[in-house]
Amino acid sequence: MSLSLPELPPLPGVSYVMPVLNEEGYLDEAVRTILAQDYVGEKEIVLALGPSTDRSTEIAERIAAADPRVRLVANPQRDNAIGLYRAIAASTHPIVVCVDAHSTLTPDYTTRGIEALHEVSAANVGGVMRAAGRGRVQRAIAAAYNSPYGLGGGAYHGDGTPGPAESAYLGIFRREALEAVGGYDEGIRRGEDWELNLRIRRAGGLVWFAPALGVTYWPRASLGDLAKQFFATGAWRAVLVRRSPRDTPWRFFVPGALVIGLALSLIIFVLQCVGLVGWPWWSLVHLIPALYLAGVLFACTRLPGLRGAGERVTGLAALVTMHLTWGAGFLVGLLGGAGRTVDRSRM
């Protein structure tokens, strides 16, 4: 099966869609980088406003009042996929560019993306996510994001060669492709981009990685918020695994297996201490935490852009937080589904 897409005009109009929830520290800059794109075709921005408790709605209304290219739609359910779905439905142009309010685009992002769509006849094009931080903790978390020892696997977490991809960060979509597969699944609260790209690939569409596209992403600024985000992400990833086990890369199972191994080691250690389990052979299970500790200690020495031992220790804490909360969430989701698990780090 091949997804049939009509010929793309040289300068198609572009609709940028962005869910917004408690983003007062990032929203203005994110929108300014969209308005500053060097693309000469028509542009519009649709912001899907969740029930923010900070000044995000006020900022969005001020931006929309000052520029007719910016429009607002309500997203009372606050979920990311629903916000994207509503923003796309309210948009008008043949190219849909998804943007995170925690991200900023390079000035040539749209131009290069449209060029890639023309060159390879792709349904969706995505580039490289480069995390950045403004303070010690956020810089350390960003370094963990940028390291293969943090998220790992996805092409868009590091530079590489252009080519077909499993998914795409954010995404520059042909509207026809979105409509052909039904758009974002409103029932998925995390991982909605991977699931959408899976359906596009199943329909015969091409998802293309273009490393020339650059996006700066501002991650959570505290380890507590990072833990909330990654637990929810792991839980919903498990939902997607249950839906599409044959399409699931093996790397998604690694954090869950790590959590099981660490928990097993702890249980065996307690049983050994009270004399219910012997030491010689059962102690082999303690190689799991020992090897993991050695691995993350090595990884924290390779985290890019950190300043001094203090930030590297924070980077180590960020790596452990990402691995264990994602893995715990994955196991919860695998056993019982994600239920109403949501990312509360922005609430």
- Whether 313 maps to a domain, the answer reads yes
Both 126 and 205 in a single domain? Answer: yes
Residue 159: its pLDDT value, please? 61
Both 302 and 164 in a single domain? Answer: no
- Whether 346 maps to a domain, the answer reads no
Residue type, 13: G
Residue 337: its pLDDT value, please? 78
Residue 153: its pLDDT value, please? 55
Both 210 and 91 in a single domain? Answer: yes
- Contact by Cβ (8 Å): 269, 282: no
Structure-token match 């439905």, residue found: 89
Both 66 and 172 in a single domain? Answer: yes
Residues 25-47 have pLDDT tens digits of: 999 999 999 999 999 999 999 99
Q: Output 12 or 187, whichever has higher pLDDT.
A: 12
Residue 178: its pLDDT value, please? 96
Residue that is last in its domain, among 165, 189, 220: 220
CB-based burial, 310-346: b 16+ in 10 Å, e otherwise: ebbebbbbbbbbbbbbbbbbbbbbbeeebeebbbebb
- What is the average per-residue pLDDT within 163-176? 94
In residues, how long is the chain? 347
Question: 325 pLDDT exceeds 60?
Answer: yes
Cα(109)–Cα(104) distance, integer angstroms = 10
- What is the average per-residue pLDDT within 72-100? 94
Both 272 and 214 in a single domain? Answer: no
Lowest mean pLDDT among 61-65, 235-239, 257-261: 235-239
Question: 1 pLDDT exceeds 60?
Answer: no
Both 85 and 192 in a single domain? Answer: yes
Both 215 and 250 in a single domain? Answer: no
Please give the residue range of the domain that contains residue 289. 242-336
Strand pairing category for 43-49 and 124-131? unpaired
Residue 157: its pLDDT value, please? 54
Both 78 and 178 in a single domain? Answer: yes
Both 138 and 52 in a single domain? Answer: yes
Both 207 and 331 in a single domain? Answer: no
- Whether 4 maps to a domain, the answer reads no
Residues 242-284 have pLDDT tens digits of: 888 888 888 889 999 999 999 999 999 999 999 888 888 889 9
Domain count of the fold of the chain: 2
Both 120 and 269 in a single domain? Answer: no
Q: Could you write out the DSSP letters of every residue in 94-152?
A: SEEEE--TTEEE-TTHHHHHHHHHHHHT-SEEEEEEEE--SSHHHHHHHHHHHSTTTT-
Cα(102)–Cα(6) distance, integer angstroms = 33
Q: Could you write out the DSSP letters of every residue in 312-336?
A: HHHHHHHHHHHHHHHHHHHHHHHHH
- Whether 236 maps to a domain, the answer reads no
3-state secondary structure of 214: strand
- Whether 121 maps to a domain, the answer reads yes
Residue that is last in its domain, among 220, 251, 268: 220
Q: Which of 143, 123, 113, 117 is nearest to 211 (CA)?
A: 113
Q: Quickly state the pLDDT bin for 152 (edges 50, 70, 90).
A: low
Cα(45)–Cα(48) distance, integer angstroms = 10
Q: What's the whole-number average pLDDT of the chain?
A: 91
Cα(137)–Cα(145) distance, integer angstroms = 12
- The residues pairing with 17 across neighbouring beta strands, listed in sequence order, are 46, 98
Cα(224)–Cα(255) distance, integer angstroms = 18
Residue that is last in its domain, among 190, 220, 250: 220
- What is the average per-residue pLDDT within 75-79? 89
Provide φ and ψ at 33, rounded to 5°. Answer: -70, -25
Both 136 and 278 in a single domain? Answer: no
- Whether 347 maps to a domain, the answer reads no
